[in-house]
Chain A
Amino acid sequence: MPSLIRWTGQRAEAAEDPFTAVVDEEPIPRGDVIVSLQRFHNEGHRLLAEGRKVGVRIEADEAVEDIAADLTRIAVVALVFPKFLTGQAYSSARVLRERYGYAGELRAVGDVLREQARFMVRCGFDTFAPIDGSSPENWSHVVGRFRHVYQRAADGREPAFEERRA
């Protein structure tokens, strides 16, 4: 079972990944799966009725608004970073967490490197599939690097202007 990095709110730790990510051309295997948005629209109802957990993979140019009505049934939303510099998913993550109150697993997939960790955690991601071989220790180090933040985001950290008030 491939492993993930999970952010607990305090630190990063290794986690098992019970999901199989399925590309559109492949048949759907047994067990918990992550499928594309298109496939979720077509087959999601049936897959959920089978009693398994279903996750949805959202590409960078797809709108998270399209799964808003289904968020209570979705076990994991996997937002794709096609390239390190392609940043739509940071906005998608905040919209899911802050506008729709999505509380399930939010996973970063694609060109995911440790340098993005602190931005991703702040935008509400909690699981990561990095491709640079980085360890949970690397992720904890990067996420904990900065003692302060200047703005509120999806992670609930107290911004500088609130710290100053204390």
Chain B
Amino acid sequence: MYQYDAIDKEMLADRVAEFREQCERRLSGDLTEDQFKRLRLMNGLYLQLHAYMLRVAIPYGALSSAQLRKLAFIARTYDKGYGHFTTRTNLQLHWIKLKDAPDILEHLAEVGMHAIQTSGNDIRNITADPHAGATADEVDDPRIWVEAIRQWSTFHPEFSFLPRKFKIAVTASPADRAATKVYDIGLRLHRNDAGELGFEVLVGGGLGRTPYLGPVIRGHLPVRHLLSYLQAILRVYNRHGRRDNIWKARIKVLVASLGAEGFGREVEAEWESADNAQVDLPDLELARIRAAFTPRNFATLPATSAAFEAAKADPAFARFARHNVKPHKIPGYAIVDISLKKPGETPGDCSAEQMELLANLGERYSQDEIRVHYEQDLILPHVMLDDVPAVWKALGAEGLDTANRGLITDIIACPGLDYCALANARAIPIAQAIAKRFEDPALAERVGELGIKISGCINACGHHHIGAIGILGVDKKGEEFYQLTLGGSAEAEASLGQVLGPAVPANRVADAVDSMVEVYLRERQEGERFLDTYRRTGLAPFKEAVYAVAH
């Protein structure tokens, strides 16, 4: 994993000093809350319903054990003993006191972490395939390129006051575990016919009020030109993106208004007229970053493990192995998914004790690495198959052995009206009610792969548009209602969900999901997932079932 050098560390130290000074000016009354707002919002500090919320960046979702241990320490010392992993692979601390914020940043800096650009109209924390460096289906390690973008975008003098926030995701696998089609910029690493590494560049995807799948504006960008090409895209956006209406300010609106071809032409013209050699990283620096991600310490092992197979005699372990253990590119290793979606718990929440357990397991069994998946789950990316039974047993001690990755109870939900000042409705209790309904693991397994995603408002932090079942909280005359969408997906063949019909009240959501699952179980053909059946049958049978029950 990339280690911060003296320069990276001094950047963080300077940032902490700056923020400490800004906080002192606020606490002494030198700055009003309004004046302070635009400063704190450049540093991931939000004023929410009950307290300040601090959003900590986790670039490409990768954590070392020391970093995760530090997050546990902060959660216990300065918050209520837990944190919330988000769909952007950040960690949110929801109960922060302003006076503690500079100290928290200082603690984070000790382990090479920060809250830089986790809010504001700038280039936000960049996400990557959470299986990067561990999966066999990638053409390169996307983290190398994300680290390059992280540095380039940090305190970028030209792009810190964009029309709106800006999010970039990178994948190097056709499976696209980074949802690149719904990002402001999605970058897909591939090799062209000549075998050269390049990016397919997608621009203008996004969820929120007007969801779009990002169109391709360049089929093959040679990797060495990544940063100069990003500069061209960002410059066109910064100069021409709308600023008159916050709902029309994302780049997707500019791309839609010019058309993908028109926008692409503007970018190419800008790119050709800039001195790109000044922007792109020299080979030496790219090699330095690449070296930081070189795999190490892998043992030579047989592809199968007798201990792993024998442990499957326990049906609970066998279920965990079926849903949470994924193939690794090195024989004898596995990627172990850890669900933060135990039925009844808040999706994405993680206690200090759980963080510490995972830090220990990461250190002992996973080459000192823990990853965050945008579906609000965690990952031990490099576990020997021989060790998986021991890891599973240890996870059980903190309730982290739920064998539901990808299943109906593995629900994504934003914090919703329980915390967030923007929300129209609660998301967490809806997730809990549905998870309870399908709590029986045998039932959840029978239903199979089914992604439910819940957002408490149109900002779509819970990614409802890309849920096989999407649930959106809306306000109807002061009451919480929920609009249902079907058929969304962020995978390779991405699609946006279609609205099922009128919104339903809170106490009807779990019933509605139940009805739709029954339709699926009745209609499904051999090998079909919920999404496949929906794509074949369309909305009609689901709609009929949900609204027949309602009247």
Chain A residues packing against B (C-beta within 8 Å): 60, 63, 84-88, 90-92, 94, 98-99, 115-116, 118-120, 122-123, 145-153, 160-161, 163-165
Report B's interface with A, CB cutoff 8 A: 5, 7-8, 10-11, 14-15, 17-18, 38-39, 121, 151-152, 154-162, 227, 235, 238-239, 243, 273-275, 278-279, 281-282, 284-285, 288
Q: Is the CB of B279 within 8 A of A151?
A: yes
* A85–B121 touching, CB < 8 Å: yes
Whether the Cβ atoms of B278 and A85 lie closer than 8 Å is: no
A153-B157 in contact (CB<8A): yes
**Cross-chain contact A90 with B151 (CB below 8 angstroms):** no
Q: Are A88 and B17 in contact (CB under 8 A)?
A: no
Q: Which residues of A contact B8 (CB under 8 A)?
A: 160
Residues of A within 8 A of B156 (CB): 150-151
Instruction: Determine if B151 and A91 form an interchain contact, defined as CB atoms under 8 angstroms apart.
Output: no
User: A161 and B10: CB pair below 8 A?
Assistant: no
The CA of A27 and the CA of B161, in the complex, are separated in Å by: 35
B158 and A153 contact, CB distance less than 8 A: yes
**In the complex, which residue of chain B has the Cβ closest to the Cβ of A89?**
B161
For A90, what are the chain B residues with a Cβ–Cβ distance below 8 Å?
A: 157-161, 238
Smallest CB gap from B154: residue in A = A150
Q: How far is the CA of A159 from the CA of B288 in the complex (A)?
A: 15
Q: How far is the CA of A63 from the CA of B240 in the complex (A)?
A: 10
Interface contact B11-A165, CB-CB below 8 Å: no
Q: A85-B38, A152-B278, A165-B284 are in contact. Are A91 and B157 (CB under 8 A)?
A: no
Chain A residues with Cβ under 8 A from B10's Cβ? 147-148
Residue of B nearest to A98 (CB): B275
Q: Is the CB of B11 within 8 A of A99?
A: no
Q: How far, in whole Å, are A150 and B14 apart by their CA atoms in the complex? A: 14
Besides the contacts A87-B162, A94-B235, A146-B155, what 6 more A-B pairs have beta carbons closer than 8 Å? A63-B239, A85-B38, A87-B159, A118-B155, A153-B157, A164-B285
Most chain-A Cβ atoms within 10 A of its Cβ — which of B17, B158, B275?
A: B158
In the complex, are the beta carbons of B235 and A91 less than 8 A apart? yes
Q: In chain A, what residue has the closest Cβ to B152?
A: A151
Nearest 5 Cβ contacts at the A-B interface: A87-B161, A122-B157, A161-B285, A119-B157, A150-B151
CA of A152 to CA of B159 in the docked complex: distance in angstroms? 13
CB neighbours (8 Å) of B7 from chain A are 148, 160, 163-164
Given A148-B11, A164-B5, A94 and B155 touching (CB < 8 A)? no
Interface of B is mostly: helix
Across the interface, do B155 and A91 meet the contact criterion of CB distance under 8 Å?
no
Residues of B within 8 A of A149 (CB): 155, 157
- Report the bound CA distance from A115 to B160 in whole Å: 12
Also in contact, A161 and B239, with CB within 8 A (given A91-B158, A94-B158)? no
Q: Which residues of B contact A86 (CB under 8 A)?
A: 161, 243
Closest to A146 in B: B14
What is the minimal beta-carbon distance from B444 to any residue of chain A, in angstroms? 46
Chain B residues within an 8 Å CB radius of A165: 282, 284-285
Chain B hits for A60, CB < 8 A: 243
Contacts of B275 in A (CB 8 A): 98
Query: How distant is the Cα of A151 from the Cα of B153 in the complex, in angstroms?
Result: 8
Q: Which residue of B lies closest to A81 (CB)?
A: B161
Q: Which residue in B121, B152, B288 is a CB contact (below 8 Å) of A150? A: B152
* Residues in B neighbouring A94, C-beta threshold 8 A: 158, 235
Q: Which residues of B contact A160 (CB under 8 A)?
A: 7-8, 11, 151
Q: Shortest Cβ distance from A94 into chain B, in angstroms?
A: 6
Instruction: Report how far A89 CA is from B56 CA in the complex, Å.
Output: 30
Q: Is B157 a contact of A84 with CB atoms below 8 Å?
A: no
Closest Cβ neighbor of B234 among chain A residues: A91
> 13 A-B residue contacts at CB 8 Å?
A86-B161, A86-B243, A91-B235, A91-B238, A98-B274, A99-B273, A118-B155, A119-B157, A147-B14, A150-B151, A151-B279, A160-B11, A161-B282
Measured between alpha carbons, how far is A92 from B158 in the docked complex, in Å? 9
By beta carbon, the residue of chain B nearest A152 is: B278
Closest chain-A Cβ to B7's Cβ sits at a distance in Å of 5
B500 to chain A: closest CB distance in Å? 38
- How far, in Å, is A99 (CB) from chain B's closest CB? 6
Task: State how many angstroms separate the Cβ of A126 from the closest Cβ of chain B.
Answer: 14
Report the separation of the CA atoms of residues A92 and B282 in the bound assembly, to the nearest whole angstrom.
26
A83 to B392 alpha-carbon distance, docked (Å): 54
Q: Give the complex CA separation of A111 and B279 in angstroms.
A: 29
Chain B residues near A152: list those with CB within 8 A: 278-279
Q: Is the CB of B38 within 8 A of A115?
A: yes
Residue of A122, A145, A161 ringed by the most chain B CB atoms within 10 A: A161
Interface centre among B38, B155, B288 (most CB of A within 10 A): B155
Q: How far is the CA of A20 from the CA of B231 in the complex (A)?
A: 36
Given the complex of chains A and B, what is the CA–CA distance between A123 and B161 in angstroms? Answer: 13
- Separation of A70 and B238 alpha carbons in the complex (Å): 24
Shortest CB–CB separation between residue A120 and chain B, in angstroms?
8
Cβ contacts under 8 Å, B281 to chain A? 161
A111 to B26, CA, bound (A): 20
Nearest A residue to B277, CB-CB: A152
CB-nearest residue of chain B relative to A151?
B152
B227 to chain A: which residues have CB within 8 Å?
Answer: 151
B284 / chain A contacts, CB cutoff of 8 Å? 165
> Which chain B residue shows the least CB distance to A160?
B7
A87 proximity list for chain B (CB < 8 A): 121, 158-162, 238
Contact of A145 among B14, B154, B235 (CB under 8 A): B14
